[in-house]
Structure 1
Amino acid sequence: MPAPDLVTAELTLTGRITTASNATFLGSIGDAAVVYKPIAGEQPLWDFPDGCLAHREVAAYRVSQALGWNIVPRTWLRDGPFGEGMVQLWQETDPEQDAVDLVAADDVPDAGWKEVLQGRDDDGRIVALIHEDTPALRRMAVFDVVVNNADRKGDHILAMADGHRYGVDHGLTFHSEHKLRTVLWGWIGEELSAEELEGIDRILTGLEGELGSQLAKLLTAEEIASLAARCVRLRSAGRFPAPSGQMPAAPWPLF
């Protein structure tokens, strides 16, 4: 039996993710499990235009594809039970793996991890926010800088059994003003690798062709110009940036 057309075949809802700030549903299209976020269920935000979060999620997928790093699961716009929205292929994570974690400050591993910040838990104990020091997370950090991700929480990083890491929840991206808020600050000042620089180059090249045409249907001209400017700045600096501006550098909550 042929696979269903993910854009036109019936989308059936199977549940709702009640912890999400916007209406978010689990569903299926044939045998494919998906996440569905209808535009009608998006909550208004003071710093992002209304009714555009789904488009930004799809734009993030397009940039991920241009990078060639498979950071964002397949994501597209289509109609659903509550109208047009973003649909994304569901990813089954490995419950035994955590790419980002909170540990006691004196339990930070000596190798393989980066410490981002310290604080106190509800019992007054000093804890550290840490994340993996892996090529997969480095690539995701580059991606977040490029798309200006304002909400990279720890739980927005999906740890797969094979070691791959997906990033999800990209509605708060592509603002023309600096909005970067992330838990992935472990490489501040470190040089970008040749692979990472080549990925940025692929975006800049793509913006002159197919990627630019795709994003023009999803973002404003100003937002696309800002995307290009961020790529140029990051490519020129050749290093992971440090936090800047007046906004908090990390999202809250962290997870």
Structure 2
Amino acid sequence: MPAPERIPPRRVSPQELLAKGELTVRGRISGASNAVLYCTVEYEGVSAACVYKPVAGERPLWDFPDGTLAQREVAAYELSEAMGWGLVPPTVLRDGPYGEGMCQMWIEASAKDAALLALVEGEEPEPGWKAVGLADVGEERTALLVHADDERLRRLAVLDAVINNGDRKGGHLLPAADGRLYAIDHGVTFNADDKLRTLLWGWAGEPLTEEAVEALRRLSANLADGGPLAGRLAELLTVEEIDALRRRVADLLRTGRHREPSGQWPAIPWPPV
């Protein structure tokens, strides 16, 4: 008699694991301005570490509607996926031990690829680096803040311009052991007003890469009324914010260049880490 056919186990996607798995809080991540909980999530024999940010733990902000930061984190993930760059870890909106919140796959940063930002002497960056600006380092001294001339960071600079990221700090960059770069903490995004604050100004005013232009064209088409992405974002953002998102994408395609500081808002977040 032939042996019975072995049915391979069903593969559980990261999104399904995060959305349907049993969420167990293991501890709180200190130093964050809002409640950030380190958790494990398990579903159909698959488990992983993740971050859970309950809406109930969000501190009110004067320029964002209360209780909307978790939705913006999910929207940033949706935009990153639509552009084909996978810069934001899998992120979902779900119920948890402390109510509805954002749940995001935990990324372990690799120390061997951590040199993405630096403070250096002199007024010009070394080859392989892009200048951001002079920074006060105390004792009436300044140093040049630079970031790596890295294609992963360049993609992230475009994504941040699209989502209108008001808080791109160095501590939000997570280079993984497999060579990929992830970015986290996207609660203060998608405001209808210009809020772009970032450490990734090294390409300001330079032409966009062909890859970025193609990604923006795809995104523009996906944001059209009736499209699946537009419908998904309608569950997470306001009509005004989605209209502003479309204008930002259109402006980038029209100019064909990386954003420059507007002068209407502090260009660099503080503290920068």
2:165 aligns with one of 145, 149, 159: 149
244-253 or 52-61: bigger deviation: 244-253
> Per-residue deviation at 1:161?
2.3
**Cα distance in 1, alignment partners of residues 243 and 53 from structure 2:** 27
**TM-score w.r.t. length of structure 2:** 0.89
Selected match of 2:31 from 19, 26, 51:
19
Whether 1:6 and 2:28 are equivalent positions in the alignment is: no
Among 73, 78, 81, the residue aligned to 1:65: 81
Distance in 2, Cα, partners of 1:15 & 1:122: 35
* Mapped contact 1:156–1:169 kept (Cα < 8 A): yes
CA displacement 1:217-250 (0-9 Å, x = unmatched): 0001110010000000010000112100421001
The C-alpha deviation readout for 1:50-107, integer Å capped at 9, x for no partner, is 0000000000000001000001000001111111100000001112322532323239
Deviation at 1:109, TM superposition (A): 5.4
Name which of structure 1's ranges 105-114 and 172-181 shifts more when overlaid on structure 2: 105-114
1:76 has 2:92 as partner: yes
Of the three residues 61, 64, 85, the one matched with 1:48 is: 64
Q: Normalized against structure 1, the TM-score is what? A: 0.95
Question: 2 CA distance for matches of 1:189 and 1:183?
Answer: 15
Q: Which amino acid aligns with 2:32?
A: A
Residues 137 and 118 of structure 1: is their aligned pair in 2 closer, same or farther, counting only changes over 3 Å?
same
Structure 2: how far apart are the matches of 1:51 and 1:165? 28
Asked if the contact 2:18/2:91 (under 8 Å) is kept, the reply is: no
Q: What does residue range 1-255 of structure 1 map to in structure 2 within 5 Å? A: 5-30=17-42, 31-106=47-122, 110-208=126-224, 209-255=227-273
Give the unaligned 5+ runs of structure 1: none
Task: State how far apart, in whole Å, the 1-side matches of 2:60 and 2:126 are.
Answer: 43
Report if aligned partners of 2:52, 2:104 keep a CA contact under 8 Å in 1. yes
Instruction: Kindly provide the amino acid, as one letter, of the partner of residue 101 in structure 1.
Output: L
5+ long unaligned stretches in structure 2: 1-8
Rounded Cα–Cα distance in structure 1 between residues aligned with 2:124 and 2:177: 23
Identify the range of structure 1 (217-226 vs 93-102) with the bigger mean alpha-carbon deviation: 93-102
Give the Cα separation in 1 of the matches to 2:260 and 2:183. 21
Residue number in structure 1 paired with 2:3: none
Contact 2:18 2:105 in 1 (8 A): no
C-alpha contact 1:102 1:127 (8 A) present in aligned 2: no
**Conserved in 1, the CA contact under 8 Å of 2:56 and 2:67?**
yes
Moved more, 1-10 or 63-72: 1-10
RMSD: 1.6
Q: Give, in angstroms, the shift of residue 168 of structure 1.
A: 0.6
In structure 2, C-alpha distance between the alignment counterparts of 1:185 and 1:65, rounded to whole Å: 23
Q: Rg: which structure is higher?
A: 2
CA drift at 1:110 = 1.9
Task: Report if aligned partners of 1:40, 1:51 keep a CA contact under 8 Å in 2.
Answer: yes
CA distance in 2, matches of 1:122, 1:158: 27
1:191 is paired with a residue of what secondary structure? coil
State the identity %: 50
One-letter amino acid of the counterpart of residue 128, structure 1: L
Q: Tell me the amino acid that sits aligned with residue 86 of structure 1.
A: M
CA distance in 2, matches of 1:38, 1:99: 32
4+ runs deviating over 3 angstroms: 1-5, 106-109
